[in-house]
Amino acid sequence: MSKRSVQNPQFNATTMVQEIVAVLRRPPFNETLTLMSFEEKREYELLELIVKVMGMIDKSIKLDTNNTEECLKATFDFLKIVKFPYPSDRQLQEDLARGDKRLLIQILHFLLTNLKALTKSYYVNKFITPVQISNEFQGDEEIIELLTNYKDLQAEFYTTYNMLEEKRQNAPQIKELKEDIAKNQSDKIQLTQSIQRFKKEYANKPDFQALLEMTSKLRKEQEQDSNLEKKIMRQQYDIKEAEERLIFTQKRILDNTKVNELIKNQRINLLCDIENKKINQKILKFNLQNYKLLFKIHQ
């Protein structure tokens, strides 16, 4: 396992526990915890809290907390994706397997104090994390082709995601646009009322220039209103289109992953079959030698 660039953070149990309890007592967790009740929690209870927080970050994470082995593996995979600061992956895996309480507190603190950032980084990283290919498949042309396609899909996903984020950031605030529309509508109502009053007062008088000016102003307000609504609709359409493209790319990545797993399993089965045949050949040769030896003895 490769060493991480970030060093293991300094462990300060008291501060960490205080911050953990403070976050867990607030929405959306609403845990009824005190410092004492948290410190009394056993290792498996801390693991359950970690699983719960991971589920908040990614709704697709649904684990059976009674299956400790499954929870530990999912936690290890999750922490690798979000680049949890620890000396090495191997040490992290070993300490998790031992149920190191100090480590579990560190993990919980890391997740809770970085909840918003991790929600975004985990979503992106789980789709762009490189696929690890074992040495025996490194030269396989089919595997190489699939891996190349997979990398292309990852690049397309990352480009599409960044484009979507840029559109979201550059899109005008819907709330502000709606406020502008409401103001224009209010102005339009006031102008309409003014025109009605003006008509009643000057209907039989020859000077309608003021009325024409007010009518022109009303028309401009209506055009502004319409343009703002069109701008909102266009921005919403662009964002929806980018989101659909992002979902399509995600599906292609997941489908490609399933193909990779299928080919990997097929090749593993093939290798096992070859090994079994080699073993059977050795057994046959051994038996043949025994028959020859027995034949010579009887002669």
pLDDT tens for each residue of 46-89: 999 999 999 999 988 989 989 999 999 999 999 999 999 999 99
When pLDDT is averaged across residues 258-283 and rounded to a whole number, the result is 55
Reduced to 3 states (helix: H, G, I; strand: E, B; else coil), residue 112 is helix
With bands split at pLDDT 50, 70 and 90, how would you rate the model's confidence at 183? confident
The tally of domains found in the chain comes to 2
Separation of first and last alpha carbons in the chain: 61
In a domain, 8, yes or no: no
Q: Label residue 75 exposed, middle or buried (CB < 10 Å: 0-12, 13-18, 19+).
A: buried
Statement to judge: residues 118 and 196 lie in one domain: no
Whether the pLDDT of residue 5 is over 60: the answer is: no
Whether the pLDDT of residue 224 is over 80: the answer is: no
Please, are residues 4 and 86 in contact by the beta-carbon 8 Å criterion?
yes
Question: What H or E segment, with its residue span, contains residue 150?
Answer: helix 141-170
* Pairwise CA distance, residues 260 & 251, whole Å: 14
Q: Label residue 176 exposed, middle or buried (CB < 10 Å: 0-12, 13-18, 19+).
A: exposed
Higher-confidence residue of 116 and 2: namely 116
Of 61, 94, 129, the residue that ends a domain is: 129
In a domain, 167, yes or no: yes
Please, are residues 245 and 157 in contact by the beta-carbon 8 Å criterion?
no
Quick one: tokens of 3? 């060493």
Q: Write out the residue range of the structural domain in which residue 37 sits.
A: 13-129
Reduced to 3 states (helix: H, G, I; strand: E, B; else coil), residue 3 is strand
